Amino acid sequence: MIAPIAVALAVGLLGWAYRALKPPPPKICGSPGGPPVTSNRVKLSDGRHLAYRESGVPKEEAKFKIIVIHGFDSSKDVYLPISQELTEELKMYILFFDRAGYGESDPYPSRSVKSEAFDIQELADQLQIGPKFYVMGMSMGGYPVWSCLKYIPHRLSGVALVVPFVHYWWPCFPANLAREAFGRLPPSFQRTFRIAHHTPWLFYWWMTQTWFPTLSMGTANLTNQDFEILKRLSEIPSVGQEKVKQQGVYESLHRDILAGYAKWEFDPLDVSNPFPDNEGSVHIWQGYEDKMIPYQLNRYLSEKLPWIRYHEVPDGGHLMINNSNVCETIIRALLLG
């Protein structure tokens, strides 16, 4: 009797482990039972779709063309306080898109740092916005910008990384600096990022278990400036937020973290200056008080890569781009130098 019971227990445990570790299938937009397609989309060469939103002046009339890369738990409908006056003054065409798995862009199980750059390049080609364009990535949208700098530098007119993602296991960081910066994060963030980097096969289980907090967002993660910005944003109608995770939390948020904190094929210090003749510029905008992205690491990168123009905003928090004055300053520096 003992052997059959042991076998039954083993089978049961294996079944539980399989269910606990395996994410559910995505609900793909436009598929039977999936969310409807309500946005403009392009079809990539591998058959996936990317959803996009255009803003500003028509691209045929634009002097500057910018592709905006949204951050974590966001989408092409991200709000930026760009005035109509600034748009018309600079004759800007702005292209927003849902990154893979977010909003109405198809999930991509093979999503990686590298794939993000080529998604952006193909999107630009499909929409015929020209051989070169500007890119601006915010927060988690910073790692696709690093990918563009590495893999498609010849397509770039200029680059802005705003409170950008940092990888605590990039080899370029001195161990003591990375350890100190990592220790400034909330404990729930530290545990989650460690699992994403070291044991990605456990990540779905970790993000769905209820014993320990994962990415606990609380008041300790925000600055006074962030609070003021959130208050103002709460007074603006939210557009599209309900669509961000509609194809599955794993396909949007979880794969984003896994791609960012995987082992990269390159180190930021391997990236060459894409503008050796000063025909463009690369900017990092970092809030000194940002509690989500420690300033020490982006400051270190800019010191090691002197062709990056580093801007440290003394009272800036993680949401500083939602301050209209800061946003305009970032855009003017990107386009006008």
The string of pLDDT tens digits covering residues 273-330 is 999 999 999 999 999 999 999 999 999 999 999 999 999 999 999 999 999 999 999 9
Q: pLDDT per residue over 72-110, tens digit each?
A: 999 999 999 999 999 999 999 999 999 999 999 999 999
Q: What is the dihedral of CA 327, 323, 316, 78, to 10 degrees?
A: -70
Q: pLDDT per residue over 248-282, tens digit each?
A: 999 999 999 999 999 999 999 999 999 999 999 99
Strand-pair category, 40-43 with 49-56: antiparallel
**Helix (H), strand (E) at residue 95:** strand 92-97
Share of the chain above pLDDT 70, in %: 93
Residue 58 pLDDT > 70, yes or no? yes
Residues 144, 267 contacting (CB under 8 angstroms): no
Q: What is the pLDDT of residue 215?
A: 77
Strand-pair category, 40-43 with 133-138: unpaired
Q: What is the pLDDT of residue 20?
A: 61
Domain ranges of the chain: 40-336
Residues 107, 26 contacting (CB under 8 angstroms): yes
One of 3.40.50.1820, 3.30.413.10, 3.40.50.300, 3.60.110.10 is the CATH number of 40-336, namely 3.40.50.1820
